[in-house]
Amino acid sequence: MIKTYFLIGKDSIRDNVFLMKECSMSVVSLTTYLSLLLAPLLADMGTLETDSQVTAQQSVRPELPKRWLTSYAEASAMAASNKLPLLLHFDAPWCGACRQMDQSVLNQPEITALLGTKVIGVRLNADHNKDLIAEFGISSLPTEVVVLADGSRGSRYLGATTLNSYVARLNAISGNNSAVVARTETKIAQSSAAAQKTEPQNLRACLIVKHDGKMVGLGGFSPISLKANRKWKRGIEEFVVEHEGVCYYFGSDIEVQRFKANPSYYIPRLHGCDLVELSQENRALPGAIEYGAFYKDQVYFFASLENRIRFEQNPGWFLAAATDAYIENEDGYPFLKSLSANN
């Protein structure tokens, strides 16, 4: 379950400490509280400024392959970033019906023409993917499972079929996925419109900033205070630790030692970069303090309300998709080069 938090400043603005309190309030209210209460603190950050070079640059995406993939991680990332349905085809070389489909259906031009446009297809050898067999509950071969663009499970197909039926199947999967994407976009647009009526527009996308030529995480706030105490508290230059090329500021030597003992526990996921932007748009983009969430005891930040809504709908899907994501601007975010290893 995703926990959203807002900051309350009861007699705390004076001390530059904001207590994080768990609640069931809407994401609209979350941003409103954060924007109002963080303004004095962020204005006091002095020379910490967002590096204009950190802003992601759009580029042309690679063309999607017109073939079956064999990597579940690669296929998941590709499907998520292009809002296409993922079609998992489980088979095995010893399966007679599987060989029949391989010869007369799966690799025919009518099918490969639809791969990369209607669906992202991945063929999974049942003997080599026991974990996925268990995860998707596969008990016979061939079996196909559909994962839609929002991460929800779609149809399940058992046994072999004909070429014409399979073409109709792929088109039907594509149509169902389009309906899901449309509903999701409508929900996001409605939430965004409501947010714009009540929330200030000057969001603080300062999770990754430049200070004296160094990349600073959490905008100079202490990750120990945020994670352990649910407080936003500025660190000081006397206590700085560099982790994966990002410098983090702390309030004491005790905090430094706690961080060094387990840095991955305290830092935001992807150092505060937007996970949804990465998995869907193939670009790194710093999240905004106003759009934070806790999921499975980890901190996540997003660049927009829309992206946080997407994440809240199916966090596991985006986490899996980002594992093998193609990053267009990774040179500006050196810590993302180890993304696959950390997931």
Q: Are residues 252 and 312 in the same domain?
A: yes
Q: What is the pLDDT of residue 310?
A: 82
Among 160, 185, 210, the domain-final residue is 185
Q: Is the pLDDT of residue 120 over 80?
A: yes
pLDDT band at 89 (very low <50, low <70, confident <90, very high): very high
Question: For residue 335, what are the contacts with CB-CB under 8 A and spacing of at least 6?
Answer: 244, 245, 246, 270, 271
Q: Are residues 39 and 106 in the same domain?
A: no
Tallying the residues shown for the chain, one arrives at 343
The range of the structural domain enclosing residue 248 comes to 2-49+201-342
Cβ-contact 81, 281 below 8 angstroms: yes
pLDDT band at 12 (very low <50, low <70, confident <90, very high): very low
Counted domains in the chain: 2
Q: Are residues 181 and 205 in the same domain?
A: no
CA-wise closest residue to 204 among 301, 272, 289:
289
| 200-246: pLDDT as tens digits | 445 555 567 777 778 888 888 999 998 888 888 999 999 999 998 89
Phi and psi (nearest 5°) for 314? -160, 75
CA-wise closest residue to 302 among 10, 61, 34:
34
DSSP conformation letters of 221-271? B-HHHHHHH-EEEB-EEEEEEEETTEEEEESSHHHHHHHHH-HHHHSPGGG
- Return the top range by mean pLDDT from 179-183, 186-190, 313-317: 179-183
Is residue 190 one of the residues assigned to a domain? no
Q: Is the pLDDT of residue 144 over 50?
A: yes
| 79-88: pLDDT as tens digits | 988 889 999 9
Q: Are residues 215 and 264 in the same domain?
A: yes
Is residue 192 one of the residues assigned to a domain? no
Torsion of CA 110, 113, 118, 124, to 10 degrees: 80
Is residue 279 one of the residues assigned to a domain? yes
| 262-317: pLDDT as tens digits | 998 999 988 888 888 888 777 888 888 888 888 888 889 998 888 888 888 778 77
Which amino acid does the sequence have at 76?
A: S
Q: What is the pLDDT of residue 122?
A: 97
Burial class of residue 93 in the structure, from the number of CB atoms within 10 Å of its CB (0-12 exposed, 13-18 middle, 19+ buried): exposed
